[in-house]
Structure 1
Amino acid sequence: MDYCIQCPEDKYANTEQNRCIPKAVEFLSYEEPLGMALALISLCFSAFTTVVLGVIVKHHSTPIVKANNRTLTYILLISLIFCFLCPLLFIGHPNSATCILQQITFGVVFTVSVSTVLAKTITVVLAFKITASQRMMKYFLISGASNYMIPVCTLIQIIVCAVWLGASPPSVDIDSQSEHGHIIIVCYKGSVNAFYCVLGYLATLAFGSFTLAFFARNLPGAFNEAKSITFSMLVFCSVWVTFIPVYHSTKGKVMVAVEIFSTLASSAGMLVFIFVPKCYTILFRPDQNSLGMIREKSSSHAHIS
């Protein structure tokens, strides 16, 4: 030919170099096996969490539920249901609304979950550490003041997210150059620093819970949650520390899948380690979920001491 024309960004040249072919649009969809599997896992975990919540509510008057602050338990389970549903926002054709909702919902819902775990940890520590002379600490425990940590911690995260939206909000990113013949549509984080501030704040809360629970793991008590919280926060921190290098080494829909997997794995860690042992005791070992068992364990701990 006397002259050639460069194909537009949404098309590429065929092998004969005489025609432009539209590029295939690529994103993590519900129709493909990966998206379908992640969505199914998300729904299954949220349904399982709902069942666990039902078991806890049905047996709300038993010692194992009473001993671990019922209000915090309900808040944590409800927030975990939303944590498991968060990945559904990451699947499907991205748009401006979903890109913003993905990160804001993730940050706020996970902050509620982790701050609730922190409040439970503080409650456990205070219950076994305060003495009769420590009136302020005793009042702090009895009044349920630790419950106010949840709205305070969540408000801080909301402020961080508001600054993020004001400075450089998440938006749709169309990449037509990375893969030949494909247009990759993903959500761009906007301000990367703000994204890592959200993650860093969550990591700080989780590490605080882990540290307190670790030092309280050997405290006496029939239903001491410290060991369960220690393992759950260890899993949570491990998942998100691993997430950062893996996330930066992937592109396109695989990168989205990594974020979804991290969300599901960290949520599952909290659910499995904190609540599965309780449900097992409630459903299959009712003999251990009694006041007599509490007195027996307390007596044995006192004898050992």
Structure 2
Amino acid sequence: MTAAPGLSRIRIGSAPDSWGVWFPDDPHQVPWRQFLDEVSESGYEWIELGPYGYLPTDPDVLRAETERRGLKVSAGTVFTGLHHGPSVWDSTWEQVAKVAALARSQGAEHLVVIPSFWRDDKTGAVLEDRELTAEQWRELARGYERLAREVRETYGLRIVVHPHADTHIDTEDNVTRFLDATDPDLVSLCLDTGHYAYCGGDNVKLIETYGSRIGYLHLKQVDPEVLAAVRAEDLPFGPAVGRGVMCEPPAGVPALQPVLTAAQGLGIELFAIVEQDMYPCEPDRPLPIARRTRAYLRSCGA
């Protein structure tokens, strides 16, 4: 279905995450062919690669598998710990290069970059301080600017940095600090509506205030009641997802219609990729949710 004129600049897609996929290989996850079949059946045209190695990494095989299902790739995803400075550059670039090359081979134009977790998202083990020092903030900003230049020059992709729960780029204060510290010509955001709400941020306000920095969207909602319990217990993100903190739209927050309307008002083409975190999940659970979510987004004009 073609988007209504009001949201004509928004390109809707989904991702392996909406099928409970967090890892390249895991017995709790659906096979990759099932994901591709079902995301296509649900009415989506665009997908992300998900964790590197989940979908085929041979470009020709991946292209054949997506094309025969009418699918196209919008982006790849990597995790980085660039606040640690130059010592992690080589290992970071090694993983970035693999993902960026595969994404580019499929015609993608974006690389979603997620900061590393300060605590383990499964066990809750604290890996480092929750707050960065001033020097670490400087290294973070320099690192992302360098990464943006290298990825653009080598692969022709634009990085979009994804604020994420249990990372150092999470709350409104930390997101705006990051934006103010980085070159707008190099670094844009992947605004994940669920993660930003999870961390207390106002999505519409961010779009209206920093609109020129929004380069990509992840569409997600949070269950306010579950979130209240998660905050009260200071749960790590993994167990919070297991409790259902990220829920099927339109049951949660933020309301997606105002977010999409604000994004449309930016006057640029934007991907809006559905990501409903639900690892682990039963293999028959994602498809009905995906169908209902796609129908709901059509009702919003997307």
TM-score, structure 2 as length reference: 0.26
The higher-RCO structure (CA 8 Å, 6+ apart) is: 2
Richer in strand (by share): 2
TM-score, structure 1 as length reference: 0.26
